[in-house]
Amino acid sequence: MNAKRVGVVGSGTMGSGIAQAISQSGSSVLLYDINETAVNHAIAKISGQLDRLQEKGKLSKADCLAAKERIRPAISLAELGDCDLVIEAAVERMEIKRDLFRQLDECCRTETILATNTSSFSVTEIGGFTSRAERVAGLHFFNPAPLMPLVEVIRGIKTAEETVRWLYRFVCDLGKSPVICEDTPGFIVNRVARPYYNEALRILGDRVATAEQIDRIMKKAGAFRMGPFELQDLIGIDINFSTTESVHAGFFGDPRFRPHFYQQRMMQAGKLGRKAGGGFYDYDE
């Protein structure tokens, strides 16, 4: 069941990727960001991605044009009021999500489902910022959103079963593979992934091996498509660190999920990964 109109809040890597995936599935998308220039830049980037898919023969010319026409910028949250679904993909700061969901609750129709793309924050807490907790859920895409098939559909304590089923069908209509999970710290994927990153950071910190060696071993011996340091650079070291902090706090300081200081130092140095031109590896423009 395709939603006729979907709003996406946040035009960064995840927000623009989600908007592209939805537009390719046949739904209209309103992409909002507090910075109008950022929205226009994101839409131009999505257009370029669609053009490349057409050049590779993965998208017909007609489908490419139609997908582009289905994405429009929004300069205010009020423009999302008539959407069937609004997906929040803003930065991982709870105070920002709190303010956004309070505003969305006021300006959207009572029938509108509000979803958060958070990777680790409590969906139950976010739902509590609204008067419609039964229509609030997690919809966690993975980077790059147009390509990665898995989407976590997270049920908060007050989320209605009807909302969960609706989102499950919506994700299926995107051509992706939904998995329903409960509102626990890190959900499924980020909970499983913490040791992958954290133990690699400890090995690096103990000078047992370099980041390149660890990545190479994990790819060759472990059959991972990307090593832990390559993945951190792709996701963003700041985002990865924030998620680790959130999961660690969510499990009340369980040492299994304790963050490593070196990841924090990388973040403090502005070495955030690909988006900053360098992280554990250097990247050309």
Three-state DSSP state, 236: coil
DSSP 113: E
Is residue 117 annotated as a catalytic residue, yes or no? Answer: no
- The one catalytic residue among 140, 230, 240, 242: 140
**CA–centroid distance for 176 within its chain:** 14
Axis crossing angle, helix 228-235 with helix 189-205, rounded to the nearest 10:
120
Q: How far apart are CA 120 and CA 122, in angstroms?
A: 7
Cross-strand partners of 7: 30, 86
Q: How far apart are CA 36 and CA 221, in angstroms?
A: 46
How far are the Cα atoms of 29, 82, 103, 238 from residue 79, in angstroms, in the given order? 11, 7, 12, 31
- The one catalytic residue among 119, 122, 198, 240: 119
Q: How many C-beta neighbours within 10 Å does residue 39 have?
A: 23
Is residue 88 annotated as a catalytic residue, yes or no? Answer: no
- The one catalytic residue among 120, 152, 248, 260: 152
Comparing C-alpha atoms, which of 172, 175, 127 is closest to residue 154? 127
Q: How far apart are CA 89 and CA 72, in angstroms?
A: 16
CA count, 13 A, side-chain hemisphere, 228:
24
Task: Give the residue carrying structure tokens 């946040």.
Answer: 10
- The one catalytic residue among 117, 120, 122, 190: 190
Is residue 190 annotated as a catalytic residue, yes or no? Answer: yes
**Helix spans in 26-181 (H):** 36-55, 61-69, 94-107, 123-127, 161-173
Is residue 230 annotated as a catalytic residue, yes or no? Answer: no
Catalytic annotation, residues: 119, 140, 152, 190
